[in-house]
Structure 1
Amino acid sequence: MDQYGTDTEADEQETPLLHRGQADKVQRAPACGSARYGLAFLSCYGFFVVYALRVNLSVAMVDMLNTTHQTSGNHSVCPAHGSPARPKHNRTASVYDWDSETQGWILGSFFYGYIVTQIPGGYLASRFGAKWLMGFGILCTVLFTLLTPVAADLGAGYLIATRVLEGVGEGVTFPAMYAMWAAWAPPMERSRLLTISYTGAQLGTVISLPLSGEICFYLDWTYVFYVFGAVGLVWFVLWALLAFDTPNTHPRISERERLYITTSLKNELSSSVDHIPWGSIVTSGPLWAIVVAHFSYNWTFYTLLTLLPTYMNDILGFSIQQNGMLSALPYIGCAVLAVLAGQLADYLRETCQYPTVAVRKAFSFVGMIGPAVFLVAAGFTGCNYILAVTFLTISSSLGGLSAAGFNINHLDIAPSYAGILLGITNTFATIPGMVGPVIARALTKQNTIQEWQTVFYISAGINLFGATVYTLFGRGTVQPWAVPRSYSHGD
């Protein structure tokens, strides 16, 4: 295990040493119109596409099922809300007789491909550049999304295979983007830039859930995949034209901004990644603290992401049109709090001089314990749908705080290898997406409130465990194995 940063006091002493000397030598470049913030918004759009393509199936699934032949799926536990009967629309798309177990495998299949390319994605990005790896990864997902209706018609097995291949494409996106931010994000702006970038994931959820419901209602479920596929193609064109791997390769960046970024990172980034200290990486205590936190948080996140529309429909009695809008509410709050958390975290670190480790742990703790409490509470609201939606919204919203916590801690402890570290933690954090929906659907075969309470209890307990481990073992300084070899020869 690592010796560096073994307690909070070490973090307090070491963190300023990484930034003080160089901060005085170069003038901060303005944010407005800058290349780094341009990259943040462009990558935000990219992650919007990533999550829109990931979650739209969870809404479309409700309309893909042949409910006329399902005795257990006709009525919700609670009375239906809104207008008693929605008008019939012209249904031209096929419907399918999939049982709850098959549905669970279809919803979870994405992650079987997603987990495969996490670590290779981080390695390839560090060796060959992140721009085209990220671009072609999302393009691959877009193309298979457009083929989803054809695959569904061929059978559940073909749909599962298509979703697995979508996951393979998306698996490289987060490691690639972390590798890119290692070269683009000044240390004292990391929280701001990364939360803007990854808020796209929340926005993709917020917009695609209700929009998917409207598309299913007014057109049919096949158009869900065609519309969002087209949005993804537009992003790829913009990314190919406007994104660049490093400030030094950007043709339109100002000299002031280029110097600001490269100077602020010069003592943190290794000049070569030909030698990757795999032994030190896999035995790093601070890395495993992130792994546990990431796994735990994602268990709750993915369970709700894939099954919230089902819960709204089967328990609370909302139609698919209402379903998408209400399923999006939790992620609206999550996106807002994530951006605010990024701003506050960097303010506390830079202006108030709080140690990085304290900031990361505080945001992680509140961002994991808070969701656990309100998730359990939501299970005891019965058919009080206003309270249920409120608690689910608060639960996911508080989860947004962790965006400024463990979620970007990879860049604090090893910026040169951030993509690889993210690949490792995201590999473990993908497991909940693979098994969570399957376990949840297996536990809710009768669709009773008591069964869903069990699902919520499991998620909350895992969240509590992850928050505890990260609070005890998380660190905020660059680890010794990640410090450039040439560091001792000058500053």
Structure 2
Amino acid sequence: MDEKPSPRKGPPPCSLRCGLAVVMHLTNLAMITQRVSLSIAVIAMVNGTEQPAVANASKDGARADALQDPGRPLQELGAGGMAWTGQFTIWAKWAPPLERSRLTSIAGSGAACGSFIILCVGGLISQALGWPCIFYIFGGIGCACCLLWFTVIYDDPVRHPCISVREKDHIVSSLAQQPTSRRRSVPIRAMVRCLPLWAIFTGFFSHFWLCTIIITYLPTYTHSVLHVDVRESGVLSSLPFVAASTCTILGGQLADFLLSRNVLRLVTVRKLFSSLGLLLPSLCAVALPFVASSFVTTVILLILIPGTSNLCDAGFIVNSLDVAPRYASLLMGVSRGFGLVAGIISSTTTGFLISQDSVSGWRHVFFLSAAVNVLGLLFYLAFAQAEIQDWARDRRLTRL
């Protein structure tokens, strides 16, 4: 059984670990803006290169060809992969167990915040300054965040020159029961046989399937189904990520509150938030085709899908820190790989389906996404755990 540290209200806002969470928030913001920039630019490029005499059918065909480009999902989904997985290596040494959901949610909410910003202003920038300026502006922000990362982020609190003694002692003592010795060899065979790990991987696959569709195709959906122009489409597409950023932070706060007050066990908290983050957006996605005639209802559902989906940040997304903190970076890399595969498949499938028939295509896209989410959730609920696995413990401790 896991040893639980003494309850604590949480990190003070001025703590260094909260500062690290803010830096990672900005980093995730920069990464997602560069990723979604391509989604905005595709529509602007297609519209901008069409001559006035060209028929609408030709324009729709050009847009469909751009959406089905196999290199497009790879470019979008590969952006920032190493930086994202590397954050969990930092949190394995910086985040006390009762603060993990809170700190990782603050950092992870940068993705939703970045999606809101780029979708809100991307169309405006493309119309006012031209679509290349989207890449120049947000690429520059990414370079600034890179410099900030190298300046502020350190491997562990012991080596950081600016941390207070009190905070350093608190972090070190709260992680004292976890293995800290140098890893020898990676227990690949044990990992492959570990069903709790496969539960996490399956959760990532399901989560990224729908999230990639929303991030990549939301401007296209609002443009083709709701019939709004690029400028209005960008502003409208940004609204769901306000809810996503809010739910990410609130979900982490609530999860750590339930743990610190011993209301629920750790594994129950992980399963609860995973269930909310996979089931609620599935229900909203299934309902979308049936309310397409109602503009307001459609917008509400589109807002709820990313918002409720990000509750997973307090579920299986942080679960690898529970089961194997020593290998958090490796496991997050593998999990990210499963997510990337799901994103590539879902992006390509979505582009193909909506190019055949827009109305029935979107309906098939949302139904398929809901099915993937439900199947992934059932597997996670069946096999997920929150205890440190035997193969992830220090060998010296397992002999006692």
TM range (shorter): over 0.9
**Is the aligned partner of 1:259 residue 2:169?**
yes
Identity %: 31
Between structures 1 and 2, the one with greater helix share: 2
Counterpart Cα distance in 1 of 2:350 and 2:25: 30
* 2:36 paired residue number: 55
Counterpart Cα distance in 2 of 1:29 and 1:310: 41
Alignment of 1:107-146 (within 5 A): 107-110=72-75, 114=78
CA contact (8 A) 2:40 2:219 kept: yes
SS of the residue 2:182 aligns to: coil
Alignment of 1:305-384 (within 5 A): 305-384=215-294
Rg: which structure is higher? Answer: 1
Cα deviation, residue 73, structure 1:
6.0
- State the TM-score, normalized to the length of structure 1: 0.77
Given the superposition, is the C-alpha separation of residues 102 and 60 from structure 1 closer, same or farther in structure 2, using an over 3 Å criterion? closer
- What whole-Å deviation, never above 9, does each CA across 1:216-261 have from its counterpart, x for those lacking one? 1211101000010111121122222222111011001011111111
* 1:448 paired residue number: 358
Alignment of 1:61-460 (within 5 A): 61-65=42-46, 66-68=49-51, 69=54, 71-72=56-57, 98=62, 100-105=64-69, 106-110=71-75, 114=78, 167=79, 170-460=80-370
SS of the residue 1:32 aligns to: coil
CA contact (8 A) 2:10 2:99 kept: no
Matched residue type, 2:87: M
Given the superposition, is the C-alpha separation of residues 488 and 201 from structure 1 closer, same or farther in structure 2, using an over 3 Å criterion? same
Cα deviation, residue 283, structure 1:
1.5
CA contact (8 A) 1:298 1:430 kept: yes
Counterpart Cα distance in 2 of 1:488 and 1:274: 15
Counterpart Cα distance in 2 of 1:470 and 1:489: 31
Extract unaligned runs of 5+ from structure 1. 1-13, 76-96, 115-166
Given the superposition, is the C-alpha separation of residues 30 and 418 from structure 1 closer, same or farther in structure 2, using an over 3 Å criterion? closer
Extract unaligned runs of 5+ from structure 2. none
Given the superposition, is the C-alpha separation of residues 30 and 295 from structure 1 closer, same or farther in structure 2, using an over 3 Å criterion? closer
- What whole-Å deviation, never above 9, does each CA across 1:407-426 have from its counterpart, x for those lacking one? 10000100111111111111
CA contact (8 A) 1:41 1:196 kept: yes
Cα deviation, residue 212, structure 1:
0.6
Given the superposition, is the C-alpha separation of residues 30 and 51 from structure 1 closer, same or farther in structure 2, using an over 3 Å criterion? closer
* 1:128 paired residue number: none
Given the superposition, is the C-alpha separation of residues 108 and 488 from structure 1 closer, same or farther in structure 2, using an over 3 Å criterion? closer
- What whole-Å deviation, never above 9, does each CA across 1:372-428 have from its counterpart, x for those lacking one? 011111122223222111111112211121111111000010011111111111111
